[in-house]
Amino acid sequence: MVPYIVPAKEKVLLKIGDGELVTPPVAPSEFDIFVWNVYKGQKAHIFENDFRRLGEGKDFILLQEAILDQRMPKLWKENFSSYEWHLAQSFHYKKDLSSTGVAIGSRLRPQAVDFIRAKTREFFWLTPKLTLFNEYDFAGTKVLFVCTHVLNFVTLGAFTNSLYEIAEKISEFKGPIVLAGDFNTWNFKRYMIMKSIFRDLNLEHLDLDDDGRVLKLDHVFVRGFDVVKARVHHTVVSSDHFPLEIKLKLQTSP
């Protein structure tokens, strides 16, 4: 028996908390961003402290394998109480009805929230993968944040098609963009296909400092930003993925 339930499309999106700001009075020039596949918080004894420490003060937090169980929403509400969290749920576990997916948290309320679910599902468990699109207004400057968890155990063709699905949605937006998440680029072909597809949208792939990863599965792409800092926390072991920390400066029009 399948141990999960895939939610209907109208039930995929959930919101937790309320952001302090609808539109900031002045567009910020720099953004601190935290990206992490949190492994569903399975290493709870060390995960929560790492999450608090690394997420503190960030303008945007983009998570993959976020989970709505007894612990993670409590952590959000208690330690990030001024943040508004949006989750695109991949599936619910039947045993306890907890759900998992991709999430974006920020003090700023998004102007629009949307998602796409990959048309192909993973082999074996047949679980879907999702991409979350949050659009924010910074005093008249529209910025799109995209958090993705790309298909893993599928053919190369299905993997490629899922990236084109994301790219098609992104192509509708003409302003600054941050695209980040777990792209499951565990071989060179996947890596080069990913870079080629998003390069065609004028998205810059970020090289990360302190990158001690053997397999580079997690990536950040930007458009309309200058990179101030981009690093990997390669000593953090509370997930099976290392956290990424990014500081970006919004480019000004000439």
- Per-residue model confidence as pLDDT tens digits over 47-97: 999 999 999 999 999 999 999 998 999 999 999 999 999 999 999 998 888
Q: Is 139 left (phi over 0), alpha (psi -120 to 50) or beta?
A: left
Strand 30-37 to strand 244-250: parallel, antiparallel, or no bridges (unpaired)?
Answer: antiparallel
Average pLDDT, the chain: 94
* Beta-bridge mates of residue 238: none
CB atoms within 10 A of CB 227: 15
Residue 21 confidence (pLDDT) above 80: no
Calculate mean pLDDT across residues 22-38. 83
Kindly state the tokens that stand for 181: 């998440």
What's the length of the chain? 254
pLDDT tens digits for 112-149?
999 999 999 999 889 999 999 999 998 888 999 999 99
At a CB cut-off of 8 Å and minimum separation 6, what does 157 contact?
none
Domain CATH number, residue 216: 3.60.10.10
223 vs 4, higher pLDDT:
223
- 163 vs 99: CA distance, rounded Å: 24
pLDDT tens digits for 199-208?
999 999 999 9
Confidence class for position 40, pLDDT limits 50, 70, 90: very high
Report the domain count for the chain. Answer: 1
Residue 26 confidence (pLDDT) above 70: no
Q: Which amino acid is at 78?
A: E
Nearest to 36 by CA among 233, 196, 207, 173: 233
Q: Percent of the chain, pLDDT > 70?
A: 97
Q: What is the pLDDT of residue 25?
A: 61
Q: Are 236 and 37 in contact (CB under 8 A)?
A: no
Domain ranges, residue 183? 4-250
Confidence class for position 45, pLDDT limits 50, 70, 90: confident
Strands, E, within the chain: which ranges? 4-5, 13-16, 30-37, 60-68, 84-93, 99-106, 112-117, 130-138, 141-149, 177-182, 204-205, 218-223, 225-232, 244-250
Q: What is the pLDDT of residue 161?
A: 98
Q: What is the pLDDT of residue 235?
A: 93
Indicate the pTM of the whole model.
Answer: 0.96
- 180 vs 83: CA distance, rounded Å: 19
Q: Which amino acid is at 171?
A: S
